[in-house]
């Protein structure tokens, strides 16, 4: 906070007298900048910050960011004060307050500034009779509202504490020192708060990724016994001639341990149907295990990548870089409005068309040549587009996720085994005189998909609101 001696020194260096106010720019609810001009100093800016822990004012060369919507008070200053000439500058005795006497169109008004730490902090605009026209902060308990007479009590003696101007570099003006001091202070506080936000985002995102890692680790544990299932299926196959319909189990010798094991059977099924059931369970668990291994690797790489990304932000001294990264982090794709539902899957965006119109709009406006197009065979359904990430190739696990979405948004929704095909968007051809959205794929690859309920639930949960 400034003391009254510092206010006096700042005022002595600012060429307010006979300067014209050319503009008022608001930075936020507590601060604004006056742009002034006079013949000797030419154009100069004075920044004012009121009713904060760092209330101050000074000449400044920094152009601060404008607020999106100006407050009522600064709007009034722009309409009433711009064009005024400062004809007097007076500091109240022993006080952190001063006023500018202004004249415009032969009318005199006053702009009072009070750099207090309590509720008295304010900027008040009055007419020549001291009637308040408007103020930065309404203070009804102090009688400071529009239309009331402004009461000013001037001190007759200095405060008991012997305030002095803080030590500063005498090679620069005190205004320049104050401007630098509070900008550096603001920068330090802003940098600290931004890094706290970085930590919060990192903890949140990494916790979500670690949750996925634990889920796939558990899936690997639950399905890693698929080789034992194959061995049991092979044993049953070798002894299938011994099975009779209605049997609930068969006892066979395990060729690995040389022990007798009992293989449960479903009595309502034939020997061949029981064997198919075991082989299908083996195939399902094997596929789930392999997919889980691939997904686990992908999520572990994602975790390492995101930790490295956040660590770079935490070590950066660049406020703008951190602010822009936090704003853009994970939102560039999600904030875009696509022509159909979109899903964010491990950093990849998947877009789904639900009708011929959406299919056509997606192909025309959202899809690019190296994106992947996925569609269900032999069933009506929407097009699914996987957006290509410039930094990495699309893994097969993402194609499997997109295939599940293609099934969900098609007439094959209730099927368990579905054939699909996929290709790059650049290999699609529009059929001549065909219906809207209809395309002919070339260089496509076939995909025989067995629907995994858990995968389907997961990928549907990735939908962007």
Q: Look at 247 and 331; give whichever has higher pLDDT.
A: 247
174 part of a folded domain: no
What are the tokens at 449?
């998909």
DSSP characters for 159-184? -SS---PPP--TTS-HHHHHHHHHHH
Q: Which residues contact 96 (CB under 8 A, 6 or more apart)?
A: 1, 2, 3, 4, 7, 114, 115, 116
pLDDT tier at 328, thresholds 50, 70, 90: low
Residue 225 lies in a domain: yes
Total structural domains within the chain:
3
Q: Is the separation of the CB atoms in 353 and 437 below 8 Å?
A: yes
- Determine contact, residues 412/379, Cβ cutoff 8 Å: yes
Question: Tokens at residue 365, please?
Answer: 């406006």
Higher pLDDT among residues 134 and 293, named by residue: 134
Instruction: Quote the CA–CA distance of 281 and 97 in Å, as a whole number.
Output: 83
**Last residue of some domain: 132, 166, 200?**
166
| 146 in the same domain as 295 | no
**How far, in whole angstroms, is CA 152 from its chain's centroid?**
48
Domain CATH number, residue 22:
2.30.310.10
Domain at 321, CATH number: 1.10.287
List residues bridging with 420 in a β-sheet: 376, 447
pLDDT in tens, 44-56: 999 999 998 889 9
First to last CA, the chain: 46
Confirm if 122 and 136 have CB atoms less than 8 A apart: yes
Kindly tell me the number of DSSP H helices and DSSP E strands found in the chain: 9, 19
Q: Are residues 159 and 205 both part of a single domain?
A: no
- Cβ atoms within 10 Å, residue 260: 9
Domain end, chosen from 136, 166, 196, is at 166
Residue ranges making up the domain that contains 35: 4-166
Q: 203 with 264, same domain?
A: yes
Residue 193 within a domain: yes
pLDDT at 55: 92
Same domain, 350 and 320: no
Backbone angles phi, psi at 254, to 5 degrees: -75, 120
Give the tens place of pLDDT for each residue, 157-181: 998 888 999 998 888 999 999 999 8
Please report the DSSP string for 256-306 in residue order: TT--EEEEE--TTS-HHHHHHHHHHHHHHHHHHHHHHHHHHHHHHHHHHHH
> Same structural domain for residues 209 and 150?
no
Q: What is the number of other CB atoms lying within 10 angstroms of the CB of residue 63? A: 9
Average pLDDT, the chain: 89
Same-domain check for residues 30 and 126 = yes
Identify the helix (H) or strand (E) that includes residue 126.
strand 122-127
238 and 320, same domain (yes or no): yes
Indicate whether 371 and 289 sit together in one domain.
Answer: no
Helices 396-408 and 271-315: crossing angle, nearest 10°? 120
Q: Determine contact, residues 78/26, Cβ cutoff 8 Å.
A: no
Confidence at 336, pLDDT banded by 50, 70, 90: low
> Are residues 201 and 256 located together in one domain of the fold?
yes
Tell me whether residue 42 is in a domain: yes
Asked if residue 323 and residue 359 are part of one domain, the reply reads no
| 185 has a pLDDT exceeding 90 | no
424-438: pLDDT as tens digits: 999 998 777 777 768
CA–CA gap between residue 323 and residue 196 (Å, rounded): 12
Considering the domain boundaries, does residue 177 fall inside one? no
Is 203 contained in some domain?
A: yes
Whether residue 265 sits in one domain with residue 354: no
For position 335, what pLDDT does the model report?
47
Asked if 288 and 321 sit in the same domain, the reply is: yes
In a domain, 176, yes or no: no
Task: Give the whole-angstrom CA distance, residue 21 versus residue 36.
Answer: 4
Residue ending a domain, among 293, 328, 363, is 328
d(CA 254, CA 265): 17
The answer to whether position 175 is within a domain reads: no
Please answer whether residues 425 and 372 qualify as being in contact, where contact means their C-beta atoms are separated by less than 8 angstroms.
yes
Averaged over 211-217, what is the pLDDT?
88
| Both tokens assigned to 52 | 């904060």
């Amino acid at each position: 906070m400034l003391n009254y001696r510092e206010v006096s020194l700042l005022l002595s260096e600012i060429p307010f007298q006979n300067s014209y106010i050319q503009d008022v720019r608001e930075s936020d609810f507590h601060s604004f900048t006056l742009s002034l001009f006079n013949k000797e100093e030419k154009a100069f800016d004075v920044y004012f910050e009121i009713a904060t822990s760092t209330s101050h004012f000074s000449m400044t060369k920094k152009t601060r960011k404008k607020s999106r919507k100006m407050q009522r008070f600064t709007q009034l200053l722009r309409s009433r004060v711009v064009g005024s000439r400062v004809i007097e500058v007076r500091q109240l005795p022993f006080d952190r307050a001063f006023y500018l006497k202004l004249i415009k169109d032969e009318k005199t008004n006053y702009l009072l500034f009070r750099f207090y730490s309590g509720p008295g902090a304010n900027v008040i605009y009055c007419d020549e009779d001291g009637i308040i026209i408007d103020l930065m902060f309404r203070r009804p308990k102090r009688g400071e509202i529009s239309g009331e007479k402004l009461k000013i009590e001037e001190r007759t003696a200095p405060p008991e504490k012997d305030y002095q101007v803080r030590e500063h570099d005498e090679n620069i003006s005190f205004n320049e020192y104050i401007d630098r001091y509070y900008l550096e202070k603001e920068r330090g506080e802003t940098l600290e708060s931004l890094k706290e936000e970085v930590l919060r985002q990192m903890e949140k995102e990494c916790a979500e990724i670690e949750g996925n890692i634990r889920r796939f680790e558990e899936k690997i544990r639950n399905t890693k016994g698929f080789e034992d299932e194959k061995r049991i299926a092979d044993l049953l196959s070798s002894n299938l001639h011994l099975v009779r319909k209605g049997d609930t189990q068969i006892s066979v010798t395990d060729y690995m341990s040389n022990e007798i094991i009992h293989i449960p059977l479903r009595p309502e099924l034939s020997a061949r149907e029981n064997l198919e059931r075991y082989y299908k369970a083996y195939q399902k668990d094997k596929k789930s295990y392999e997919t889980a291994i691939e997904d686990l690797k992908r999520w572990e790489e994602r975790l390492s990548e995101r930790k490295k990304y956040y660590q770079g932000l935490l070590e950066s001294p660049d406020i703008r870089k951190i602010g822009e990264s936090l704003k853009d982090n994970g939102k560039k794709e999600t904030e875009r409005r696509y022509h159909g539902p979109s899903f964010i899957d491990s950093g990849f965006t998947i877009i789904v068309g639900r009708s011929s119109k959406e299919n056509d709009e997606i192909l025309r406006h959202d899809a690019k040549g190296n994106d992947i197009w996925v569609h269900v065979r032999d069933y009506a359904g929407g097009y699914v587009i996987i957006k290509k990430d410039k930094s990495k190739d699309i893994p097969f696990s993402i194609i499997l996720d997109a295939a599940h979405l293609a099934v969900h948004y098609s007439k094959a929704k209730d099927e368990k085994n579905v054939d699909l095909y996929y290709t790059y968007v650049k290999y699609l051809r529009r059929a001549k005189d065909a219906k809207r959205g209809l395309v002919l794929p070339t260089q496509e690859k076939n995909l025989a998909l067995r629907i995994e309920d858990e995968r389907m639930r997961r990928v549907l949960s990735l939908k962007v609101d």
